[in-house]
Amino acid sequence: MADYGDKASGASVVIVGGGVTGLSTGWRLARAGVDVLVLEKGIVGWEASGRNGGGATHVYSPFGLEEQRLWPQMDELLGYPTEYQPYRIGIALSETQLALARRWAEVGEMRGFRWELLDRRQLKELVPIVGDNAIGGTYLHFGGHANPQRTVQGYAWALQDHGGRILQHTTVTGLAQRGGRVTAVETTRGTFDADVVVVAAGPQTGAFAEMLGVWLPLAPARVEMIATEPIPLMRVGGVAGNGLYGRQTLRGNLVYGGGPHEWINVPDMATPDHANTPLVRSLARRLAELLPGAAHVRLIRSWSGLVENTPDGLPVVERLTHPDNVVIATMSSVGFGLRPPSAARSASSCASVGASSPTSAPSRSAASPIRRAIGVSDAGWAAAPSAVEAAAGGDD
């Protein structure tokens, strides 16, 4: 990816973070003709944004409906392939898992989507590699999955197609304030003037909020994933269950992750190296239980990433009141699937230069403001059902 604008020069909107949230926001803005600059400390989409379960089935979210509406159009909107594939199948190996899968489906139903309960025979027809240990499943006529790496790349290219700029290997070190506004973004490659700043810095978002005097409790956790060698394509690649989320790629690889996780302290702006643990064996075992017909397939890759979590697992997309030209955007661990289409839009609305009142922006749903976190102390909140758990139960 070419870096544009090597010279330090500002932009109307400067976005801190070249993950999926920052890139999608930038793309939306660039598409609307806004002068936008994305600053990324490493490579775009190199962290959890580009390597994750690739799920796009978050109907429980405040952005769920937008997600469902937009994902099928994304290839066309971006002009680059996302490998989006519709529908999801949930496999249950126990009554508990079936209840969980049903709950997931029923949330969709409440929001107007169709689903079917599958018995073992139907399940086997759809997914030939399930075993006799499966008791049933759900077929969701909504949701889907996409290739995270290609999607992030697509956002970056589309952003540049619309005249937006991306600076990689540029670490933001500070936010210069004057007169109650952030006027510039200080980086390792110079200072960039900005009318509006969007902070979409993943695990580091909380640190930036703190710089601005805003308390945003975010807890980063490390989650791990595995990929197998390719197997023949299934009719529906979005197959998950047994505590796993994931998908079959168009090449045929089974790519799965899903709890448990480890809470990680990220003390500074540097994201620690990705490391796996013996948890990958747990993932592999659960995948072999879920899809016994593929139990012989070799694992060829594993990786981990850091996801940041809000106390209630729901996104924060808010334009601050002080300073009033900053938008904070974190998607709380399920950034990929849900956020590109929907949150991007919300963040864009907030960030649009001259947007009159932040309260009129569509993102001001009950779930997204930061203030709901007021009163949440640093300790103990992670015990509440988090998005990590939601992701583990369903799909990310």
Q: Which residues bind another protein (CB under 8 A)?
A: 219, 221-222, 259-264, 272-281, 284, 299, 302, 304, 306, 379-383, 386, 388-389, 392
Give residues with Cβ within 8 angstroms of 336, minimum separation 6. 20, 48, 49, 52, 53, 54, 55, 56, 148, 151, 396
Give the C-alpha separation, 287 to 303, whole Å: 16
Beta bridge partner(s), residue 182:
177
Please, which residue, 265 or 360, has the CB nearer to another protein?
A: 265
- Whether cis (ω within 30° of 0) applies to the bond prior to 323 is yes
Smallest separation (angstroms) from another protein to the CB of 375: 16
Whose CA is closest to 18, among 125, 166, 118, 135? Answer: 166
Smallest separation (angstroms) from another protein to the CB of 165: 28
Torsion of CA 250, 252, 337, 131, to 10 degrees: 140
Please, which residue, 72 or 217, has the CB nearer to another protein?
A: 217
Smallest separation (angstroms) from another protein to the CB of 242: 15
- For residue 250, CA distances in Å to 85, 146, 291 come to 9, 9, 18
Amino acid at 10: G
Please, which residue, 219 or 236, has the CB nearer to another protein?
A: 219
Query: To which residue do tokens 């075993």 refer?
Result: 131
Smallest separation (angstroms) from another protein to the CB of 275: 5
Please, which residue, 140 or 390, has the CB nearer to another protein?
A: 390
Smallest separation (angstroms) from another protein to the CB of 104: 17
Query: To which residue do tokens 């190996």 refer?
Result: 93
Please, which residue, 122 or 276, has the CB nearer to another protein?
A: 276
Smallest separation (angstroms) from another protein to the CB of 215: 17
Whose CA is closest to 198, among 389, 391, 9, 13? Answer: 13
Please, which residue, 12 or 386, has the CB nearer to another protein?
A: 386
Smallest separation (angstroms) from another protein to the CB of 31: 33
- Angle among Cα 193, 154, 81 to the nearest 5 degrees reads 165
Please, which residue, 201 or 219, has the CB nearer to another protein?
A: 219
Smallest separation (angstroms) from another protein to the CB of 72: 32
Q: Collapse the DSSP code of 40 into the 3-class scheme (helix H, G, I; strand E, B; otherwise coil) and give the result.
A: coil
- Angle among Cα 147, 317, 199 to the nearest 5 degrees reads 80
Smallest separation (angstroms) from another protein to the CB of 233: 20
- Angle among Cα 294, 108, 85 to the nearest 5 degrees reads 45
Give the C-alpha separation, 264 to 307, whole Å: 10
Please, which residue, 279 or 361, has the CB nearer to another protein?
A: 279
Q: In what order do the strands lie in the sheet with 136-145?
A: 115-118, 136-145, 85-92, 239-241
Smallest separation (angstroms) from another protein to the CB of 281: 6
Is the separation of the CB atoms in 97 and 392 below 8 Å?
no
Give the C-alpha separation, 270 to 197, whole Å: 20
